[in-house]
Amino acid sequence: MKFVVRAQHLVSLGGYIVECNFPYRNIIVVNETTEPVKVEVPVFKEDWIEEHRALGLKVIPVTNEDSFLTLFKKAKSELEKINDKK
């Protein structure tokens, strides 16, 4: 199944991680480009991260030790700075 990340938007894929042995509890995906990008969901393997970075997406894995909210707000702030420059 595919999920579209709109241009210059970010999404959280925590609900799409289905592998019990996956090392991350959530993934933040940031599309800094001006084009929408399709991502493959659900997330089953770690290779997914590099595959989607190759598409031009910023992929931020969230571990159990990380603060999801802090990482999400930081990514959103960085995206807003990019959008403000345009």
- Average pLDDT in the 59-72 region? 96
Question: What pLDDT score was predicted for residue 86?
Answer: 64
Q: Is it the case that residue 85 has pLDDT exceeding 90?
A: no
- Rounded CA-CA distance 31/36 in Å is 8
Q: What is the pLDDT of residues 6-63, one digit of tens each?
A: 999 999 998 888 777 889 999 999 999 999 999 999 988 899 999 999 999 999 999 9
- 33 DSSP assignment: S
Question: What pLDDT score was predicted for residue 51?
Answer: 95
Domain range list for the chain: 2-85
Contacts of 50 (CB under 8 A, 6+ apart): none
